[in-house]
Structures are given as C-alpha cells and as structure tokens.
Amino acid sequence: MTAARPLRTERASTTRDSILTAAERLYAEYGVFAVSNRQVSEAAGQGNNAAVGYHFGTKTDLVRAIEERHRAPIEAHRERLVAQTDHNADLRVWVSCLVRPLTDHLADLGNPSWYARFAAQAMTDPAYHGFVVKDALSSSSLVEVVDGINRCLPDLPLAIRFDRNIMARNLLMHSCADRERALATGATVATRTSWQAAGMGLIDAIVGMWLAPVSRSTRGGDSRRVTVDQDKCVSSGMCVMNAAEIFEEPGTERAEGTRKAAAACPALAIHLEE
C-alpha cells in the first residue's frame, strides 16, 4: 500500500502535465472558447473524457493552472533583471525588465511553443481576462518595474500614460504571439532570428512609443477622469500603472480617497470616464 501511493501520485502528476500541455496547445491554436474539456482530454490521451474535471475542475481552473505553470519561470527572469537594475535607471533599462522576462521564457521553451498565443487568447477573452491580469499583479517585481517606468516619464500626462500602458501590453503580447505562430508553422520571421533579437526590437519600439511626442489635440482633448474599483484588479504583466498615480488633482478629497484605495489594494481597476 505504501509503495503504491507514490506511484499513484506520480501517475496523477503525469496526467495533469499531459492535460496542461494539450490544453495550452489547443487554446493557443483554436481559442479558449472553441475548445471543450472533452477535446482536451482526448488530445492528452485520456480515455476518460471527464479527466479535466477530475484533475482541475472547470475550464476556468484549467486556464488559471496553465498561466500559473508559466508564471514562476517568468517571475524568476524578472527578479533577476530587477536585482541588477539601479533604482534610477533610464527608461530603456526598465522596459527591458518588462520585455525580456517574457521573450527569455519563450526562448527557453524552444520551438514549437504555445504560451504566447495562449496568453494572447486568454487576455482578449472577457471570461478569463479579469483573473489572468489580477493574478499577474501578485508579482512585486512587476510592480517595481512599472514604477520604474513611471519615474522615467514625469512630464507625460497621466491620461496619456494610461493609454500607452495598454498599447505597450498589446504590442508585447501580440507581437510575441505572432512570432511564435510563425515559428511554429515554419514561416520566415523577418530578420529577427532569435527571441533575444525579437526582444531587443520590442524594447526599441516600446521605448519609442513611450517617448513619442504628445500632440496638442491629444493633450488638450482628454478630459477624462478615473474611478477606482477595489473589487476588480485589471492589470497585467504588460499593463500596470502605479496605483498612487491617478488623474485626480493632488490635495482634493477625491484624490485622497484614491490614495487610500491604492494603499488598501495596490492592484486597482482604472475606469476612464468621459
């Protein structure tokens, strides 16, 4: 009985790994919504079509497990880079700390890989976006990186900074997903022969986007304000703002409430209102 128990545990772990790998591939190639738990079980070589439910629960639980599987190695890359970065480093250094953990992880995975496409699918699916990005903000090193980026942009209007956060996230996630797809299908990937080179190109582009001049019409035409929802943390590895830096004027009652909310919940949902 004692010898059989570790064997069962090892078998269950192997089954879970097979399901995670199959689900990640199918979700990456076809989208999360289009793939059933039954299809995942079959692709994982499980005769029992209820294997996903038995080992993970719901599809949401499975999506979260895939994300968690990759979070630790990405976090390890980021912590290493942040540890090597001076507090007063320039924008390019901090953007490198944002980009390289993902591109280095994708390089480690080899080819073919599916994580970048899976993450892009999950981030654009309203059923999964919320918890995926909320979980990402458990990373203290990620918050440190974004705070570093914000310190390098003191003159950029906060509304513009928020918009460019979203642009940076989309540029990073979808560029990596497109490259991963091309590599998996054997297509030519321009001149970026490695994930390291692709990462350098992304760093160039994101730094250029952050430093791009703000037109008068854009600067003057944005009259938006924000409210804070502490129950919905909607940010991610590629879209995080320093919660203490909100659009409210300092010293106002509304700004004080925002600061208190930020102290209570560092990962805040930022809702733009006209």
Which class is domain 1-57? mainly alpha
Q: What is the pLDDT of residue 217?
A: 84
Q: What is the pLDDT of residue 191?
A: 57
Q: What is the pLDDT of residue 41?
A: 94
| DSSP symbol at 112 | S
- Full-model pTM: 0.78
Query: CB 72: neighbour CB atoms within 10 A?
Result: 9
**Regions of the chain with pLDDT less than 70:** 1-10, 189-192, 220-274
Helix 59-83 × helix 91-109 angle, to 10°: 130
Q: What is the pLDDT of residue 131?
A: 79
- Any idea which fold 58-273 has? Tetracycline Repressor; domain 2 (1.10.357)
Q: What is the pLDDT of residue 175?
A: 96
Q: What is the pLDDT of residue 260?
A: 37
CB 105 within 8 A of CB 70: yes
Please state the domain extents for the chain. Answer: 1-57, 58-273
**Per residue in 21-44, is it b (16+ CB within 10 Å) or e — as a string?**
bbbbbbbbeeebeebebebbbebb
Q: What is the pLDDT of residue 130?
A: 82
Q: What is the pLDDT of residue 238?
A: 35
Q: What is the pLDDT of residue 155?
A: 93
Q: What is the pLDDT of residue 190?
A: 59
Which residues is 229 bridged to in the sheet? 269
Helix 59-83 × helix 140-151 angle, to 10°: 60
Q: What is the pLDDT of residue 226?
A: 45
